[in-house]
Amino acid sequence: MNIHEVSSQSVNQMGSTIANAVEDHALVSVPLEERQSGFKLAMSPVGVATALVIFAIGGFTVLLSGFWTGLLAGFIATIIGFTLSYFLGKMTFQTGMSSTVTSRFFGFGVKGSSFGAAIFAFMILGFLALESALLYEGTLLMFNLQDTIFVRISLYGALTLTWILLAIFGLQIALKASKFMIVITLVVTFYMIYQIYGVRGMDPMQVFNSTGVIPGGFWTKLSTALVLMGATAGTISLVTTDFARYCRNTQDVKVLAMAGPITQNLLMIVLGGLVIIGGVPEVADYLMQRNAGLSPQQAAEAAGGFAMSNTGAFFVVLAGWVGFITIYAAQAKAQAVNAYSGSLALVNLLDALTGKKPGRAFMVVLGNIFALIMIGGGILGQFVAWLSYLGCMTMSLCGIMLADYYFVRKGQFSVNNVRVESCNWAGVLTLFISSGIGIVLIVTKVFELGFFVTLALSLIIYPLLRKLMPEGTATHFVQADIALDAAE
């Protein structure tokens, strides 16, 4: 009996109740009859890649490093992101399961996969928090609200409740509406670009010829851009991998793997750069009108800071109510996916640690609570540092899974003869060693791109440790069906 037959039997037994539908194959393989085309599935990573925080990263990269250096960094990140997405996607396509559950088979074992699930949850819930924080800041600006406790509780409470309901009951609606929201977002973005360069007469060459505000030579500017762009390569890859389990064939995986990295690292560099660089004078004027005490220099500095801390301000100032409504509509589909993916990681985390089968709906709620804690901890103010550390952990996770499947197993896998370890200590040790080295390099400022070092180390260290610690070392084996569908 193969994975898909096992999963089909489980689905037939579950029935068609709402509660079971909500689970969305969180711990089992996606049935063949539910597989879809790569073009249709591509709307999900593209929706995530056109979210406000990615728009902010693109514009902030150009502001810091200049347009062409930022675009080069985006091209490098696109190649890395596509490579990781495609080869990881082929693995989840074969298992039909999410990335964190797939890591039980490749690199970590059942208990060991809890580390990967924790990293993925930290990643995706961090983005959930960041997106909410950006929406909050944009709302304050739109309605000229004060940042009070009452306003925080009201706005963050309403946003959190919306994300929970969308992830539990409205995910399919959000995914179906995703292509329309993407089109609307792009239309409004082009409208803002038209307002800046067509109506207000700003010269676009000021953007294309910009060299960035970071002092130094080419490598300094490129490394700064890569800190922002490269660190998210593992992020979009793991999100894409979660949807690759719905692909019909490897060609669909390839289409899916291309969509997110190209949109996130190339398109958003161009659009983000044009809007952020061109819109800074308009935002500065807007701030001076609302705050009579601000000098032109103070207003310009505040507007530049909005590139990362309040990106929604550009939509509000340049497109008014249309821009404000757009950022909310666009965020809805991205936040639904963030909350959904985060819940999958939390389901696997608790299942791997305890053997219990937590409901995905409960984990959606728990994930949103964690996101609120991150917001309270000031994640928006620590964005660049968070992104760098996150890059080390996600790159290590990706590298270990790839090394296990392609280097150790030579791409050979069958559920009929696979042996699944309770804990793959070679993978766990590689995760701590490689990500630890990368983070130390970043913290000590020896090498800002420590996440690239982490990826390389993972691909090298894991096969070596696997030889020293072959299957079954200091652990035991579990049945394949238990690894697929939680321990009974």
219-240 pLDDT, tens per residue? 999 999 999 898 888 888 888 8
Number of structural domains in the chain = 1
Residue 15 has pLDDT above 50, yes or no: no
Of 293-307, 341-355, 378-392, 433-447, the poorest mean pLDDT is in 341-355
115-124 pLDDT, tens per residue? 988 998 888 8
55-84 pLDDT, tens per residue? 999 999 999 999 999 999 999 999 999 999
- Whether residue 270 lies inside any domain: the answer is yes
Residue 148 has pLDDT above 50, yes or no: yes
In this prediction, residue 232 carries a pLDDT of 83
- Whether residue 403 lies inside any domain: the answer is no
In this prediction, residue 403 carries a pLDDT of 97
Domain of 298, CATH number, reads: 1.20.1740.10
384 conformational bin, left if phi > 0, alpha if psi -120 to 50, beta if neither: alpha
- Whether residue 28 lies inside any domain: the answer is no
Binned at pLDDT 50, 70 and 90, residue 416 comes out as: low
* Buried b or exposed e, range 94-107, using 16+ CB within 10 angstroms: bbbbbbbbbbbbbb
State the Cα–Cα distance between residues 482 and 488, nearest whole angstrom: 7
Name the average pLDDT for the chain. 86
Within 8 A by CB and 6+ apart from 297, the residues are none
Within 8 A by CB and 6+ apart from 153, the residues are none
Q: What percent of the chain has pLDDT over 70?
A: 91
State the amino acid at position 70 in one-letter form.
Answer: G
- Range of 340's domain? 34-382
In order, the DSSP letters of 205-220 are HHHHT---SS-S-HHH
Residue that is written with structure tokens 């347009």 in the block: 67
Residue 14 has pLDDT above 90, yes or no: no
Closest C-alpha among 78, 430, 400, 458 to residue 268: 78
Closest C-alpha among 177, 176, 485, 160 to residue 339: 160
Residue 153 has pLDDT above 80, yes or no: yes
In this prediction, residue 22 carries a pLDDT of 41
In this prediction, residue 173 carries a pLDDT of 72
- Whether residue 350 lies inside any domain: the answer is yes
259-303 pLDDT, tens per residue? 999 999 999 999 999 999 999 999 999 989 888 778 888 888 888
- Whether residue 153 lies inside any domain: the answer is yes
171-212 pLDDT, tens per residue? 677 667 777 888 888 999 999 999 999 998 999 999 999 999
Query: What one-character DSSP code corresponds to residue 381?
Result: G
In order, the DSSP letters of 277-346 are HHHHHHHHHHHHHH-TT--HHHHHHHHHHHHHH-THHHHHHHHHHHHHHHHHHHHHHHHHHHHHHHHHHH
Residue 114 has pLDDT above 80, yes or no: yes
In this prediction, residue 184 carries a pLDDT of 87
Per-residue pLDDT averaged across 130-145, rounded? 92
Within 8 A by CB and 6+ apart from 363, the residues are 342, 343, 344, 346, 347, 350
Q: For the packed helices 296-309 and 268-290, what is the interaxial angle rounded to 10 degrees?
A: 140
Question: What 3-state class would DSSP assign to 246?
Answer: coil
Closest C-alpha among 1, 108, 100 to residue 478: 108
154-169 pLDDT, tens per residue? 999 999 999 998 888 8
Per-residue pLDDT averaged across 407-413, rounded? 89
7 or 23: which leads in pLDDT: 23
Within 8 A by CB and 6+ apart from 220, the residues are 214
Query: What one-character DSSP code corresponds to residue 247?
Result: B
Q: For the packed helices 171-194 and 268-290, what is the interaxial angle rounded to 10 degrees?
A: 70
Cβ atoms 61, 229 nearer than 8 A: yes
In this prediction, residue 7 carries a pLDDT of 37
95 or 397: which leads in pLDDT: 397
- What token pair was written down for 292? 């009579």
- Whether residue 226 lies inside any domain: the answer is yes
Residue 349 has pLDDT above 90, yes or no: no
- What token pair was written down for 449? 């791109």
Residue that is written with structure tokens 């489980």 in the block: 10
Residue 424 has pLDDT above 60, yes or no: yes
Question: What 3-state class would DSSP assign to 36?
Answer: strand
Residues belonging to the chain: 488
Residue 488 has pLDDT above 60, yes or no: no
Residue 140 has pLDDT above 80, yes or no: yes
Cβ atoms 403, 462 nearer than 8 A: yes
In this prediction, residue 160 carries a pLDDT of 94
Closest C-alpha among 258, 71, 270, 265 to residue 190: 270
Cβ atoms 131, 335 nearer than 8 A: yes
Q: What percent of the chain has pLDDT over 90?
A: 53
